Amino acid sequence: MLLRSAIDKYDVLYGTTTLGLAERDGLSDVVYLPDCNRSSITQAARCLAECWRLVRRTKPEVMITTGALPGLFCLVIARFSGARTIWIDSLANFEKPSMSGQFARYFSTLWLTQWENLARPKGPHYYGGLF
Amino acid sequence: MILVTVGTQLPFDRLIEIVDGAAPSVAQPVLAQTGCGQYVPRNIEWRQMIDPVEFAEILSRVSLIVAHAGIGTLLMAQKHQKPIIVFPRRASLGEHRNEHQLATVKALETRSGIYVAWTAEDVVGLLGQSLAPPPPLGSDFGKVQLLDKISSFIGGVGHKRDAAPRRPGLARTSERS
């Protein structure tokens, strides 16, 4: 949502796991996904199925996510569907890219970190951050 | 008012309990969003979940935030220019999946308006002080750079649909009127 000013000019569909965020930010084109993390396999499987349906139906040209696991699912599926993908690693990871971020590198066209100290020549790349 | 929040994904009763214990000697009313914790506070007002619209409204009028080291919360504190006491979750105590919250607070410790509490005593001590809010963001340079990069990566001139969105199969997509 914090990227809005960069992408508002495109046809954007937002996906989130938090009910009410869309209302707070005045967005109309939003789809909700069930949340999950690597602690619960059944939840993750349910989430994966939802992500699959979402990406296959909407066929995005570009997919942008900051993670975590639901975002990674969508990113991988979107990449295999031919979309260009951007992974922006969460600010929460200062010492090393997040676990999902390390998987995401293999499926992202553009692999970004928001911390300069984590940038490497082969990625993740640093162009700036929200902090 | 003081707002305590521990996010909505994982319980963090240790922090709620510390603030609840200290509340009788704190001059201001305290409201806690306890998330999926089990602990029932005795001295403070509490809600399990506050929806984002109301949460933003509450944030705009609190004088202080006490929170886990969640990035979402830290960004909100910055946005609303509120001082924040940050008490990191510890994976060693089963409070998160790894120790990234310790790394986060180390990275942000020197920023003004962010007050890191390493122990329960730190939390209580900081609650007794009057804490200055962060200054307004001097420059959005980092954000602008990031957004420029993303914009140029996507490329094209951008095209926005002007008709109502038709996305068959997305039952929960809210419709534009």
Residue B161's pLDDT band, with cuts at 50, 70 and 90, is low
Residue B169's pLDDT band, with cuts at 50, 70 and 90, is very low
A12 Cβ contact list (under 8 Å, min separation 6): A29
What's the number of CA atoms in the CB half-sphere (13 Å) around residue B169? 10
- Can you tell me the ipTM of this complex? 0.85
pLDDT tens-digit readout, A55-99: 999 999 999 999 889 999 999 999 999 999 999 998 888 888 888
Residue B78 to residue B50: CA distance in whole angstroms: 19
Full-model pTM: 0.78
Q: Tell me the average pLDDT across B8-34.
A: 95
State the distance between the two ends of chain B, measured CA to CA, in whole angstroms: 38
- Determine contact, residues B16/B36, Cβ cutoff 8 Å: no
Count CB-CB contacts under 10 A for residue B161. 11
Contact across the interface for A7 and B154, Cβ inside 8 Å: yes
Residues written for chain B: 177
Q: Is A12 helix (H, G, I), strand (E, B) or coil?
A: coil
| pLDDT at residue B160 in the model | 59
- Determine contact, residues A105/A111, Cβ cutoff 8 Å: yes
Contacts of B71 in chain A (CB under 8 A): 90-92
- Give contacts of A 67-106 with B, CB under 8 A: 84, 86, 88, 90-95, 98-99
Residue A65 to residue A67: CA distance in whole angstroms: 5
Contact across the interface for B71 and A28, Cβ inside 8 Å: no
Q: Is the pLDDT of residue B98 over 60?
A: yes
Side chain identity at residue A108, one-letter code: S
pLDDT tens-digit readout, A100-127: 899 999 999 999 999 889 999 998 999 9
